[in-house]
Structure 1
Amino acid sequence: MGQSKSKFSLRKQLGRGKQIAGMTTTIAGGLRTAQRIGAFREPPRETLPRYIQVFCRKMASSFGVKIVQVEPVPQHHGLWVSNHVSWMDIPVVGSVSPAFFLSKAEIGEWPVFGKLAQAAGTVFIERGSGDVGSVATQMASFLSKGYSVIFFPEATTTDGTKVKRIHGTLLQAAIDSDVPVQPIVIAYVDKDGALSKELPYYGKLTMKDSIKKVLDSRQVTAYVLPLEPLDPNGHNKSQLTNLLQQRMNEGLKELHARVLTDANNTAASVL
């Protein structure tokens, strides 16, 4: 019994080591590409999204997560939003959308990851004490230049079963810059066709423990479904928030119906 447990522990450690090696290789490759295309000097925003998508797809793969677009994700300009389940959402969303991420300005000072974030054209937000309106203004300015932005309007992570109440303050940026709001929804599905219990990062789970759970997970697929975009014209922030909440609630239910295994153990078809 003890020998069997020891072998299982060794396999787990070897599996983690292989994935960490893959992640390290991906990061090193990303840094080399950023240097080659001059992204450390000035991110080439017109061409950068395709490099970001490749990097994010490799990063997710290094953790053993396969990404599947249930419907082709459009690559148009807009304010992108997604439900929020895990830190894995960042490489998943980054692999399918043409949008740049938002980040607190201080993250740009972090070693390695701060450099990568800068090279990836991350929109660094200078935040005052709770001045969300200022963030929306900065986003609107960026959107008006023709560059897309993505954020997670729930402002927290969930277990993946539903969309929590969304916070629509930053949707003002779409109204001010007159760009569509493009929602997408994500579901992490295990090899048995059920929602993964390893991928969600929420509640009292620590980042360290979450990373271990993801490293030890097997055959997880991240399904992404783009939803019908919302035109901000004629809507105020409150109305746009309510419309987005409804669309994301319905969209996540549809995604689950299409990719999860039903009660009769028959997998729903992915078109």
Structure 2
Amino acid sequence: MGQSKSKLSLKKQLGRGKQIAGMTTTIAGGLRAAQRIGAFREPPREKLPRYIQTFCRKMAGSFGVKIVEVEPVPQHHGLWVSNHVSWMDIPVVGSVSPAFFLSKAEIGDWPIFGKLAHAAGTVFIERGSGDVGSVSAQIASFLNEGFSVIFFPEATTTDGTKVKRIHGTLLQAAIDARVPIQPMVLAYVNKDGQLSKELPYYGKLTMKESLKKVLDSRNDTAYVLPLDPIDPNGHTKSQLTNLLQQRMQEGLAELHSRVLTKDS
């Protein structure tokens, strides 16, 4: 029994080591690409989406997560939103959408990941006195420049079974910039056709624990389903929030019906 456990532990360690090596290689490749196109000086936003999509897909792949578009994801300009299940959502949605991410300004100071975030054209939000209205204005300004933004309106992660109550304050940016809201939903599915228990990062799970679970998982697939865009014209922020809530809930149920096995 002890020998069997030892072999299992060694197999886990080798698997983790392989995935960490793949992640390190992907990061190094991303840094080289950013250097080559001058993204550390001034991110060339018109060129960046295809580089970001390639990098994100490779990053998810280094963790053994395959990404599948259940329907082709449109590449149009707008304010993008997605349900939120895991830190893995960032490489997943980044691999399929043409949008730039939002981030707290202090993340830009992080070593390595801060550099990558700058090079990826991340929209760093300066939060002052909890003024989400100013955040919305910053996003609207960015949208008016012709660049898309993506965020997670639930403002927290879930176990992947449902969409929590969404917070619609930032939808004001779509109203002000007169751009469509483009929702999409995602689900992590294991080899048995059931929702993955390894990928969700929520509750009291620590980042270290989550990372180990993801590194030890095998053959998980991230399915992404784009939903119909929402035209903000003629709607109040409250109306848009309710409409988006309904559309995302129905969209996630539709996605589950298409990618999960009947007994899951």
The TM tier, using the shorter chain, reads over 0.9
Give 1:179's aligned residue.
179
Give 1:101's aligned residue.
101
Give 1:249's aligned residue.
249
Amino acid at match of 2:177: S
- Where does structure 1 differ by over 4 angstroms across 4 or more consecutive aligned residues? none
Cα offsets for 1:75-114 (capped at 9, x unmatched): 0000000000000000000000000000011111111000
C-alpha displacement of 1:47: 1.0
C-alpha displacement of 1:130: 1.0
**Distance of 1:236 and 1:140 partners within structure 2:** 16
> For residues 58-73 of structure 1, what are the structure 2 equivalents within 5 Å?
58-73=58-73
**Distance of 2:139 and 2:154 partners within structure 1:** 17
> For residues 184-203 of structure 1, what are the structure 2 equivalents within 5 Å?
184-203=184-203
**Distance of 1:130 and 1:157 partners within structure 2:** 21
Amino acid at match of 1:28: A
Give 1:25's aligned residue.
25
Amino acid at match of 1:83: N
Give 2:141's aligned residue.
141
Give 2:119's aligned residue.
119
Q: CA RMSD in A?
A: 0.6
Give 2:8's aligned residue.
8
3-state SS in 2 of match to 1:127? coil
C-alpha displacement of 1:70: 0.1
Cα offsets for 1:50-90 (capped at 9, x unmatched): 00000000000000000000000000000000000000000
Question: What is the aligned residue count?
Answer: 264
Give 2:204's aligned residue.
204
Amino acid at match of 1:131: D
Amino acid at match of 1:183: P
TM-score, length of structure 2 as denominator length: 0.99
Give 1:269's aligned residue.
none
Give 2:76's aligned residue.
76
**Distance of 1:207 and 1:257 partners within structure 2:** 30
**Distance of 1:15 and 1:218 partners within structure 2:** 10
Give 1:268's aligned residue.
none
**Distance of 2:203 and 2:69 partners within structure 1:** 28
C-alpha displacement of 1:129: 1.9
> For residues 158-169 of structure 1, what are the structure 2 equivalents within 5 Å?
158-169=158-169
C-alpha displacement of 1:242: 0.3
TM-score, length of structure 1 as denominator length: 0.97
Amino acid at match of 1:198: E
**Distance of 2:130 and 2:37 partners within structure 1:** 36
3-state SS in 1 of match to 2:41? coil
Identity over aligned pairs, percent? 86
Q: Which runs of 5+ in 2 are unaligned?
A: none
Q: Which runs of 5+ in 1 are unaligned?
A: 266-271
